[in-house]
A and B are shown apart, each in its own frame.
Chain A
Amino acid sequence: MTLLVQAIWGGVLFGAVYGLMALGLTLVWGAVRFLNLAHGAIFTVGAYAAYWVVSSLNLPILIALPFGVLVAAAFSYLMHLALIRPVLGKPGFDNSTLIATVGISISVSAAAILIFNPEYKVVPAVLPGYFVISGVQITNQGLLVIATSLALFLLVYLFLTYTRQGMAVRAVSQQMEAASLMSIPVERTYGMVIAISGALAGLAGVLLSPFFFLNPNSGFNPMIQALIVTIFGGLGSIRGALVAGFVLGIFESFVEVFYGVAWAQPGVFVLIILMLILRPNGLFGIGEVRRL
């Protein structure tokens, strides 16, 4: 019983974490068609911003959290202004953005070492404390992460489906030229999506750092996981990111609990390889033709 509860709790928590990271990544892919390999770096930026507020300004994490989210969104938007917007719609867009975002990732970890130091930092939990269900420790922060992740999926879905700006995001992603003829500012819409995605990464950074500690490369693993989830769910699909996050999270957790940690990652990759053989565009893949 303990093992089962442990597997389920771990799985749901992993799933929520993966989903939260994948949401921002898939949103940018679906709307702008660029693979943001700086997503992990933005996660790190948000986490360090929150850490700085807590450690240097001695303010509570509840103030540091929105600050971290804002800094991450602003960072993301600046990245859009400096590196994405100049190459929008130009030949070589894919290559330039891919290389630029890898460059940003490297710069961010180097900057984190210079500004802070390479040591592990502790970011406090927003909701400290835990309770125990049949021997398994359920942390309040974990519950918060699960609830936040689900709420954000719902919010992003509602935003894209029902709001004027959200519909414009889909319009721009499906037919850029027609969108501009409908008086939709294409570049600003892209900027907005990238900033929202950055805010999501920053939020993930602040909320997840209490689990993993914070270091200059903190964002790397979550981003790789998010990339796997996004590919599994189908690049660009919001629903796919949600389902894939939980499927992979729960699968990994069960393998880990019942067959040992050593099998967890290989198990996930076997699952993904099988899935990609069966459905090359991912679970809910929108492929090359369809968009958001």
Chain B
Amino acid sequence: MLEVKGLSAGYAGSEVLHGIDLVVNEHEGVIVLGPNGHGKSTLLRAITGLLRPTAGQVFFNGKEITRWRPDVIAAAGVVHIPQGDLLFPEMTVTENLLMGAFHRPTWGERKERLDRVYELWPWLKDRGGQLTRTLSGGERRMLALGRGLMSKAEILLIDEPSLGLTPLTTQQIYASIQKVKESGIALLLADENANHVAGLADRVYLLETGSLVREGPADTLLKDQALLESYLG
């Protein structure tokens, strides 16, 4: 479904990613594990067009999307939930969710899609009129996920869902992501912690200093404590 071939990208002349090859199949949960600063966010940003790759290609459902604009990539069904949530601070909770359904064909179904998101997090409905900048960290993360789910995503790219959250909220977030996956949406998750992702992951890639150094099925790779410790510390 999503295929990345020899992707390189970076910022202002310094290359961060060196020739990444990666595949996500339909309904699959793929985790890119790696320590902070090794290029996980850069990888997601290069896939969804926020960052122009310097080399390589990205394919989605057989079509090359490498140099498409971010909004066109999102409209095609590759939806990126960025690090730091990037909500619209002066808009209400409901308005933020609605923006997830901005794409014209999705907009017509916004009511049904809102209901689906409310099933996951009922508080979003009760506090729909609240300004987003007044939400707590955990609430913001849920809203960011909900906003992504308002779209007709075929694959969700989620950047460090647990970043800055308490252990309890982290558990809730991963439980929600689990439900998202069960609904049939493919996942590409960037994470630095192997503990949370066990239930979600079908396959795991290990990313180190901008290169994928290992790839394997989650049930074997995530059990290899010695390997994980050597990479993630």
Question: B-contacting residues of A (Cβ < 8 Å)?
Answer: 164, 167-168, 170-171, 174-175, 177-186, 290-292
Q: Whole-angstrom distance between the alpha carbons of A170 and B96 in the complex?
A: 10
How far is it, in angstroms, between the C-alpha of A171 and the C-alpha of B102 when the chains are bound? 11
Q: With A171-B88, A174-B88 given, is the CB distance from A186 to B71 under 8 Å?
A: yes
Stretch at the interface among B19-27, B55-63, B72-80, B190-198: B72-80
A292 touches B147 (CB 8 A): no
Contact B151 A175 (CB under 8 A): no
Count residues of B near A (Cβ-Cβ below 8 Å): 28
Q: Which single member of B88, B90, B151 contacts A178 (CB below 8 Å)?
A: B88
A182 touches B74 (CB 8 A): yes
- Which A residues are CB-close (under 8 A) to B48? 181
- Whether B102 lies near A164 (C-beta < 8 A) is yes
Please report the number of residue pairs spanning A and B whose Cβ atoms sit closer than 8 angstroms.
76
**Residues of B with Cβ closer than 8 Å to A?**
48-50, 69-72, 74-75, 79-82, 86-91, 95, 98-100, 102-103, 107, 147, 151
Chain A residues, Cβ within 8 Å of B87: 175, 178
For B88, list chain A residues within 8 Å (CB): 170-171, 174-175, 178-179
* Given A183-B71, A186-B71: A178 touches B91 (CB 8 Å cut-off): no
In contact, A183 and B102 (Cβ under 8 angstroms): yes
A–B pairs, 20, beta carbons within 8 Å: A164-B102, A170-B88, A170-B91, A174-B88, A174-B89, A175-B88, A177-B86, A178-B87, A178-B88, A179-B71, A180-B50, A180-B69, A180-B71, A181-B50, A182-B147, A183-B72, A184-B102, A185-B69, A186-B71, A290-B90
CA of A186 to CA of B102, assembled, Å: 12
* B206 nearest CB across to chain A (Å): 26
The smallest beta-carbon distance between B99 and chain A, in angstroms, is 5
